Structure 1
Amino acid sequence: MRGQEVFVLDTNVLIFAPEALEAFSDAEIVIPINVIEELDRFKAELSDRGGSARLVSQRLDELRELGSLAQGIQLQQGGKLRVELQVPAQEDLPGQLDINRASNRVLAVAWELVQRELPVTLVTQDTNLRVKANALEVPVMRYLNSSGSNGFYDGVKTIQVEKNLIHQLLLQESIDLTELNQEVVDLDDFLPNEGLHLLNGSEANEDLLAIYREEDKHFQILERLDNVWGVKPRNPEQRLAMEYLLDPEIHVVSLSGKSGTGKTLLALAAGLQLMLTQNLYTRMLVSRPIFPMGRDLGYLPGDAQEKLAPWMQPIFDNLELLIGNPKTGRGHSASGHQELIERGLLVVEPLTYIRGRSIPNQYLLVDESQNLTPHEMKTIITRAGEGTKIVLTGDPHQIDNPYVNEKSNGLSNLVNRFKNHPLAAHINLVHGERSQLAELAANAL
């Protein structure tokens, strides 16, 4: 008999998903002692990594009261958790494995359990550690949260139809499902707020855009949109994105796409429209994960705004483009974003400042959200108070966070988890709109 399965958890798994501590029901979870030492070093950080480390440490402290962690604690949902105090000596390990490296000590614990012929699996987000584990014949896996489908949801279906059908439908405000049964397959597969792009194959300019409204089982036909704060959607995906952004009944909007597709510009233009023109929100809160700057801003010179300025500059550039746009006719100065900050209408903060707060009646934009873990994304979404709209932008194929990949990151996880809910909408932007050169670079480099 194989006996009870054993999972050895690396530190990065608990940072990526603190709930992993109790996610393996009916199995034995082993935490090497050096993992707790690493968590202890991280827990003082004013960062998402520090927040995850504190959550895990607090949960371990609660479990400590139930018995000896060294001997093992029975978990409520089944299985057992214990802390492994022993690490094999350097001379007992195969190859040139340096036991002084924290990741190798975790691997050494798993290797030693394999030598006892236990059904062990090492769980780590570290690519190189998985390679080393395989070389030592230690079963290994990446921790995957239950995010649902591995395929990425685009948010729109494109169907070619006859020209006369488009003309007929354009005379209506909405489309009943029965009118499309002969033209569109798998109608039952349409999700709440999913886009429908009916395209006339013979004439490129003859098309129709609609959004599936689940509550009354029909498609709402979208009218042509002139511009929003000087920004006019240039392709069907951008038009759908703007509709989602301007709809106050949709509380979470996610925009994915490569660089140059207009994700951030559209989100900011809609935010200015909803806040300054329609007065639906009291202010706009903009944030980005700070991975390329390093997790801890404390060592950088200046106050919080000065520390964030280099990393937030793309946001400021887009705001100046919008505020200084003569098409808006608003006559703001070249430093318009600073004026909005001084008036309290625009707040720019690192994501670490959001933890523990409630954010009511605001337009919250999180740029580069593909660098968030699912746990960090949950922290943000649960901060939303009454009347708040959350907009998430990012490119799942361009990730700086070493703990996530294109499928396991917080943005991809949210899209798959929320795609069945009418409070949320998603669209993947595919066309670069900066320039032909920028489009070539995004596709080819």
Structure 2
Amino acid sequence: MLSQTKKSKIFVLDTNVILHDYTCIYQFQDNDVILPITVLEELDKFKRGNDLINFQAREFTRLLDEIVGDELFNGGKSLGQGKGKLRIETGKPFSDELKASFKEDIPDHRILAIADYISKSYPKRKSVLITKDINLRMKAKSLGIQAEDYKTDQVTDEHILDKTVTTFDNFDDSLIDRLYNQGSFAKDDVKKDFNPEANECFIFRGSSSSALARYDNKSERIYRVEKNSAYGIKPRNAEQTFSLNMLMDPEIRLMALTGKAGTGKTLLALAAAIEQHRQYEQILLARPIVALSNRDIGYLPGDASEKISPYMQPLFDNLAVIKHTFNPRSNEYQLIEEMVKEEKLNITPLAYIRGRSLSNAFFIIDEAQNLTPHEIKTIITRAGEGTKMVFTGDLQQIDSPYLDMKSNGLAYMTDRMRNQELFAHINLLKGERSYLAELAATLL
């Protein structure tokens, strides 16, 4: 049995925590971890499949196999130096209060029964149910069971992706002239205590002129950003201009493009990739498949390719926009056709990319707000030499029921990577799809 007097806490884990981060059992310091037997039952249902959630289930099963032993069911097994113990807890009877409150015998309620049993068995220690399911947290609290979200990989500032381009009004006209005539000036010329982040972008407005600029922390200088197009796509606002500038910069290997629907995130990334097709062996576009309304893709008709086609259609739509800027007989149009035919430009579900080593590729990951921090890490660590990765997403459209503003992988990556020389982030504000789309994104 676990110690009755130990001052550390006892954490009871829900299935969704493991599917969010299969290494979670090692993230609770010296506290003990309880794994309900019901969780193992549920994980067994997720082990088969090609989605990232299936990968998490399989990896946790392998991890658990490495630490297997009789102690897991009797007193708990140590998770290592400075860590607590892990114990698998078998099913427990429902208390009278639980029976009266929740009539159904479902996995969530069986996990509640175990959490209730643990809290009553160890009254001298704080026991907490850890789940990413807000409804289960509410159910637990109604029974007097402490419950919390999994917070290990949450960002502290949920507005990290809301950061906009910094604008300087009444800026020194002579410095703006220097940007146009010489191309750059030292950051200290702005003011002595001016400390911008790597690749931070600025709009300088003087009395008679203005300029777009970007900070390079290697040279500690601020350089002018020119308005250039990419494969027929022209930037329509300052944020799009900055985005294309950094998408075309070979020194920036990792980018986050955020913003509401219709701001041009995916279109700009794809246009920049095709513009630079000679620099990369392959252009890859991928997105996670997140079924809406709790309906799995299995209910869709057709074979595997036909089932996933609706999820990939937005990427094909962006490709069509670029193609239609050219005459079908033009070399530019034919180049795209050839790249698709020869699979040098490949649109695919993200699950089909996992496990590959991606060298000298331009990799665009769409809808990245639906990825967990661990999934983002898994993807980035596949990057080989010469690869550039661009993650796009809208935090107002998180479809995963277990992710939010603080726990999604796109916010986590941006928070951890900010101020790195090879990383850049632009938040696109203005919708350019249409006035109707912009109005809907703002008001609805």
1:310, CA displacement in angstroms?
1.7
1:25, CA displacement in angstroms?
0.7
Output aligned runs, 1:241-260, within 5 Å.
Answer: 241-260=243-262
Give the counterpart of 1:36 among 40, 45, 49.
40
Mapped partners of 1:327, 1:428: distance in 2:
32
Match of 2:215 in 1: 212
- Unpaired runs of 5+ residues, structure 2, are none
Question: Partner of 1:187: helix, strand, or coil?
Answer: coil
1:170, CA displacement in angstroms?
2.9
CA 1:247 to 1:330, structure 2 compared with 1: closer, same or farther past 3 Å? farther
Match of 2:306 in 1: 306
CA 1:66 to 1:109, structure 2 compared with 1: closer, same or farther past 3 Å? closer
- Is 1:195 the counterpart of 2:194 in the alignment? no
Q: Deviations over 1:399-437 (max 9, x none)?
A: 111121122111111111111211111110011112221
1:328, CA displacement in angstroms?
10
Which amino acid in 1 is paired with 2:60? V
Which amino acid in 2 is paired with 1:388? T
Question: Partner of 1:192: helix, strand, or coil?
Answer: coil
Match of 2:264 in 1: 262
Q: Single out whichever of 68-77 and 121-130 deviates more from structure 2.
A: 68-77
Match of 2:140 in 1: 133
1:35, CA displacement in angstroms?
0.5
Match of 1:102 in 2: 107
CA 1:305 to 1:387, structure 2 compared with 1: closer, same or farther past 3 Å? farther
CA 1:338 to 1:66, structure 2 compared with 1: closer, same or farther past 3 Å? farther
Mapped partners of 1:267, 1:72: distance in 2:
50
Question: Partner of 1:439: helix, strand, or coil?
Answer: helix
- Is 1:152 the counterpart of 2:160 in the alignment? yes
1:172, CA displacement in angstroms?
2.5
Identity of aligned residues (%): 40
Answer whether contact 2:72 2:88 (CA < 8 A) is retained: no
Match of 1:340 in 2: 339
Match of 1:86 in 2: 91
Match of 1:354 in 2: 353
Give the counterpart of 1:221 among 220, 224, 228.
224
Which amino acid in 1 is paired with 2:377? K
- Is 1:176 the counterpart of 2:186 in the alignment? yes
1:354, CA displacement in angstroms?
1.8
Question: Partner of 1:256: helix, strand, or coil?
Answer: strand
TM normalised by structure 2 equals 0.91
Answer whether contact 2:358 2:384 (CA < 8 A) is retained: yes
1:238, CA displacement in angstroms?
0.7
Q: Deviations over 1:82-101 (max 9, x none)?
A: 11113223546363224511
Q: Single out whichever of 207-216 and 48-57 deviates more from structure 2.
A: 207-216
CA 1:420 to 1:297, structure 2 compared with 1: closer, same or farther past 3 Å? same
Mapped partners of 1:282, 1:336: distance in 2:
14
Mapped partners of 2:310, 2:340: distance in 1:
16
- Unpaired runs of 5+ residues, structure 1, are none
Mapped partners of 2:77, 2:398: distance in 1:
37
Answer whether contact 1:324 1:332 (CA < 8 A) is retained: no
1:45, CA displacement in angstroms?
2.3
Match of 1:16 in 2: 20
Mapped partners of 1:81, 1:170: distance in 2:
63
Answer whether contact 1:2 1:119 (CA < 8 A) is retained: no
Question: Partner of 2:100: helix, strand, or coil?
Answer: coil
TM normalised by structure 1 equals 0.90
1:281, CA displacement in angstroms?
0.4
Output aligned runs, 1:425-436, within 5 Å.
Answer: 425-436=424-435
Mapped partners of 1:344, 1:125: distance in 2:
39
Mapped partners of 2:70, 2:280: distance in 1:
47
Question: Partner of 1:93: helix, strand, or coil?
Answer: helix
Question: Partner of 1:171: helix, strand, or coil?
Answer: helix
Mapped partners of 2:443, 2:133: distance in 1:
28
Match of 1:403 in 2: 402
1:303, CA displacement in angstroms?
5.2
Which amino acid in 2 is paired with 1:220? Y
Answer whether contact 1:147 1:416 (CA < 8 A) is retained: no
Question: Partner of 2:230: helix, strand, or coil?
Answer: coil
Question: Partner of 2:276: helix, strand, or coil?
Answer: helix
Mapped partners of 2:304, 2:117: distance in 1:
47
Mapped partners of 1:149, 1:220: distance in 2:
31
Give the counterpart of 2:276 among 260, 274, 288.
274
Q: Single out whichever of 297-306 and 260-269 deviates more from structure 2.
A: 297-306
Mapped partners of 2:79, 2:389: distance in 1:
36
Answer whether contact 1:10 1:123 (CA < 8 A) is retained: yes
Q: Which runs of 4+ in 1 moved over 6 A?
A: 293-296
Q: Deviations over 1:206-232 (max 9, x none)?
A: 32221111112111211232x211111
Mapped partners of 1:158, 1:145: distance in 2:
34
Answer whether contact 2:286 2:347 (CA < 8 A) is retained: yes
CA 1:336 to 1:119, structure 2 compared with 1: closer, same or farther past 3 Å? same
Mapped partners of 1:417, 1:148: distance in 2:
9
Answer whether contact 2:291 2:297 (CA < 8 A) is retained: no
Mapped partners of 1:127, 1:195: distance in 2:
38
Q: How many residues align?
A: 433
Answer whether contact 1:42 1:49 (CA < 8 A) is retained: yes
